[in-house]
Amino acid sequence: MAQAGSADPGVGGHWAAGPRCAPWRWALALLWLATAAGGPSRRQWPVPYKRFSFRPEPDPYCQAKYTFCPTGSPIPVMKGDDVIEVFRLQTPVWEFKYGNLLGHLKIMHDAIGFKSTLTGKNYTMEWYELFQLGNCTFPHLRPEMNAPFWCNQGAACFFEGIDDIHWKENGTLVLVATISGNTFNQMAKWVKRDNETGIYYETWTVQASPTKGAETWFESYDCSKFVLRTYKKLAELGAEFKKIETNYTRIFLYSGEPTYLGNETSIFGPTGNKTLALAIKRFYYPFKPHLSTKEFLLSILQIFDAVIIHREFYLFYNFEYWFLPMKFPFIKITYEEIPLPKRNETLSGL
Ligand SMILES: *[C@@H]1O[C@H](CO)[C@@H](O)[C@H](O)[C@H]1NC(C)=O
Ligand SMILES: *[C@@H]1O[C@H](CO)[C@@H](O)[C@H](O)[C@H]1NC(C)=O
Ligand SMILES: *[C@@H]1O[C@H](CO)[C@@H](O)[C@H](O)[C@H]1NC(C)=O
Ligand SMILES: *[C@@H]1O[C@H](CO)[C@@H](O)[C@H](O)[C@H]1NC(C)=O
Ligand SMILES: *[C@@H]1O[C@H](CO)[C@@H](O)[C@H](O)[C@H]1NC(C)=O
Ligand SMILES: *[C@@H]1O[C@H](CO)[C@@H](O)[C@H](O)[C@H]1NC(C)=O
Ligand SMILES: *[C@@H]1O[C@H](CO)[C@@H](O)[C@H](O)[C@H]1NC(C)=O
Ligand SMILES: *[C@@H]1O[C@H](CO)[C@@H](O)[C@H](O)[C@H]1NC(C)=O
């Protein structure tokens, strides 16, 4: 996850040098193609989330119904010896009951709060969709375009203030750690880099089955993942977390081993497989991306039905399409514990 686009010919553009390419480069490129085309069975699971070298401006077609991060501000520099309280913040986005299959759906939004002892000021930090969940989960099928069109950026938002009532009333506002101003400043640098390189929201976690230890094919990349990454970073920087139960919402799909289909150009371009292109568009046709969260959940239920009947799902991940041979129980929304990290548990690049 950590290395920004290394070993990835699609991102850094190392292979796109064109006329200046030395012959050995071509040889290497061919070698790479040969390995890439080799055994699909030798894939790395879960598929690593692709990091980018910078964040592009969203396409003007994507128009937010609610302005992203309206009161956002740069992360302040704290005094090194300040004492900063860190809060776990969680609030329901939507809750409802759907039969026995999906049970009680509890979709929570996660964020982190900070409070400076020296200034008394407090802050909220969260990561969320620029154009809402529906737009990150389903594409637009635009008549003038052959390929499905995605408005799926997500980003970090930092602003002054913690709206206590918003988090406390139906959710959580609880102290999880106390850090120094110095640690906070180091975290801020990491957040900036994380925000520039991890730019696309991924709704689904895809696994082979709900049992423990089952293979994970794809990891989601959402608000809770950002909170978990930040906690992990803080632990690496020496923060000690309290021992409390911390649960998160995860939206699962269950499938056999996924098959790689290709990217936008290779599928929907002039040389693409028309049958496949049509199948993908047909799959997405019933799902409307410009939705409220409530409508989004209704769309999920529609997917649920489609998936049970046809046992197929076309997943878009890292701007590439994958076929998922769906398996029982197909789709699940859980609210499970992911414990707070232990101090200096792991070392990571990012
Ligand atoms: C989703 O994207 C469409 C297209 O830009 C936009 O019209 C709509 O407002 C977006 N939905 C939300 C909830 O922001
Ligand atoms: C993250 O990137 C978005 C989009 O460029 C920007 O609006 C936001 O302020 C950034 N967040 C932080 C915490 O720097
Ligand atoms: C954050 O600051 C506001 C304004 O001073 C205050 O009302 C609120 O209780 C504070 N919340 C926390 C968790 O510190
Ligand atoms: C808490 O839940 C109740 C009942 O669903 C709702 O009326 C209220 O607006 C919620 N409070 C907040 C701060 O979201
Ligand atoms: C965490 O690990 C790093 C690298 O091993 C080490 O330099 C650092 O001192 C550790 N921090 C704490 C607080 O133990
Ligand atoms: C799409 O896939 C083709 C064929 O595998 C590859 O040549 C091309 O660079 C890819 N395009 C992008 C934008 O990744
Ligand atoms: C095109 O895609 C369809 C559906 O995925 C597949 O059955 C067919 O074999 C593909 N054709 C070619 C020439 O790859
Ligand atoms: C949190 O998750 C644990 C196990 O993952 C579960 O036993 C517990 O009931 C969950 N708590 C809530 C409030 O749902």
Residue-level pLDDT at 94: 67
Residue 28 maps to a domain: no
Q: What is the pLDDT along the chain (350 residues), one digit of tens a residue?
A: 333 333 332 222 222 333 333 444 444 444 454 444 444 556 899 999 999 999 999 999 999 988 999 999 999 999 999 999 999 999 988 655 555 444 566 788 999 999 999 999 999 999 999 988 888 889 999 999 999 999 999 999 999 999 999 999 889 999 999 999 999 999 999 999 999 999 999 999 999 999 999 999 999 999 999 999 999 999 999 999 999 999 999 999 999 999 999 999 999 999 999 999 999 998 998 877 766 777 777 777 777 777 888 899 999 999 999 999 999 999 888 999 999 998 765 555 44
| Ligand 5 pocket: which of 183, 236, 344 to mutate (most atoms within 8 A of CB) | 344
Ligand 2 in reach of 123 Cβ (< 6 A):
no
Ligand 7 in reach of 100 Cβ (< 6 A):
no
Residue-level pLDDT at 221: 97
Residue 227 maps to a domain: yes
Of all protein residues, whose CA lies closest to atom 3 belonging to ligand 4? 170
Residue-level pLDDT at 149: 96
Of all protein residues, whose CA lies closest to atom 2 belonging to ligand 4? 170
Ligand 8 in reach of 336 Cβ (< 6 A):
yes
CA–centroid distance, residue 195 to ligand 2 (Å): 6
Q: Which residues have any ligand 5 atom within 6 Å of their CB?
A: 238, 344, 347
Residue 208 maps to a domain: yes
Q: Which residues have any ligand 6 atom within 6 Å of their CB?
A: 10, 262-263, 265-266
CA–centroid distance, residue 81 to ligand 3 (Å): 21
Ligand 3 in reach of 162 Cβ (< 6 A):
yes
Question: Where in the sequence is the domain holding 206, given as residue range(s)?
Answer: 83-337
Q: Which ligand is nearest to the CA of 109?
A: 4
Of all protein residues, whose CA lies closest to atom 2 belonging to ligand 2? 155
For the CA of 173, the closest atom of ligand 3 is 13
Residue 48 maps to a domain: no
Residue 21 maps to a domain: no
Residue-level pLDDT at 68: 94
Residue 67 maps to a domain: no
Ligand 3 in reach of 164 Cβ (< 6 A):
yes
Residue 251 maps to a domain: yes
Catalytic residue among 109, 136, 151, 157: 109
For the CA of 91, the closest atom of ligand 4 is 14
| Ligand 8 pocket: which of 90, 106, 107, 247 to mutate (most atoms within 8 A of CB) | 247
Is 109 considered catalytic here?
yes
| Ligand 3 pocket: which of 164, 174, 178 to mutate (most atoms within 8 A of CB) | 164
The structure's pTM equals 0.84
CA–centroid distance, residue 176 to ligand 5 (Å): 20
Q: How many domains does the chain have?
A: 1
Ligand 8 in reach of 337 Cβ (< 6 A):
yes
Residue 18 maps to a domain: no
Segment 140-144 long-range contacts (CB within 8 Å, at least 24 positions apart): 140/61, 140/289, 140/290, 141/281, 141/284, 141/285, 142/61
Q: Which ligand is nearest to the CA of 165?
A: 4
CA–centroid distance, residue 166 to ligand 4 (Å): 8
Catalytic residue among 62, 223, 290, 310: 223
